[in-house]
Copies of this chain bind each other. A is one copy, B any other.
Amino acid sequence: MSMTALKAQTTERVRSVAAMLEEEIVLGWLLPRERLVEEELAERLAVKRHVVREALADLERVGLVERIPNRGAVVKLLDPVEVRQIYSVREALETLAAEQIPLPASATVLDALREVQQRHAVAVDSADARAAFRANMQFHETLFGACGNPPLVELIQGLAQKVHGARSITAASPEHLRLARDEHAAMVEALAAGDRDRLVALCRQHLGPSRDAYIAAIEARFARPGAVMTERQP
């Protein structure tokens, strides 16, 4: 029965390492274009190189890092047009899911959402970015999970992961966190009231801020010399 073995099963360690790296990317601890050296990570995370290797392969599949043969991995920098495209698909998918959630929402779903939202609010108020990130992910998972279409939920989560690199701008910003918190509350309200139009609208506008903040930040800070942006010359 106990699925979670006491001594971390191998594939679990890989997933654990991948999750740690993902968090470090989202929280801005690892910046775009930063190199991810296998041995270095292996020592820091106290695992063998080969585990880090598999974790990096996982993150490459997800789209969070980029691996160049014989040259190693770097955290991927999404260009603005790709971000816009991804967000447009996210909007479509999340709308689709929101339209399929049975309304008014069941008590179990509402209770779960309120509990998670509570944790998220606490994390935001105490400026605990990591806890806020985790609670935020869990909130969306339970919210969209209520649509009854697991493959759809998986897709939504996958797309969210893809732009996690983009969230390093908003994940630490108190204003954005507070805004997200309030929007979550509004969503729960709409779910309880059975107001589908409001729910869908909330989901849609919930996506905007992080996208816009990222695009603005990326064009200001990570522009490559040689691109359209005029960069100061040394």
Contact = CB atoms under 8 A, between A and B. Distances in A.
Interface of A: 9-12, 54, 57-58, 61, 67, 69-70, 82, 85-86, 88-89, 92-93, 96, 149-152, 155, 159, 162
A contacts with B: majority SS:
helix
A213 to B, nearest CB: 19
Nearest to A5: B69
Number of copies: 2
Given A82-B150, A155-B155, A11 B61 contact: no
Nearest to A78: B151
Contacts of A57: 54, 57-58
A149 B149 CA distance: 24
Contacts of A10: 69
Given A54-B57, A57-B54, A58-B61, A89 B9 contact: no
A2 B69 CA distance: 14
Given A54-B57, A92-B96, A67 B151 contact: no
A3 to B, nearest CB: 10
A50 to B, nearest CB: 9
A171 to B, nearest CB: 21
A209 to B, nearest CB: 20
B9 A85 contact: no
Contact of A85 (B61, B69, B89, B151): B151
Given A89-B96, A92-B93, A93-B93, 7 more contacts: A11-B67, A11-B69, A57-B58, A58-B61, A92-B96, A151-B159, A155-B155
A155 to B, nearest CB: 7
A86 B151 contact: yes
30 contacts: A9-B70, A10-B69, A11-B67, A11-B69, A12-B69, A54-B54, A54-B57, A57-B57, A58-B61, A61-B61, A82-B150, A82-B151, A85-B149, A85-B150, A85-B151, A88-B149, A88-B152, A89-B93, A89-B96, A89-B149, A89-B151, A89-B152, A89-B155, A92-B93, A92-B96, A93-B93, A151-B159, A151-B162, A155-B155, A155-B159
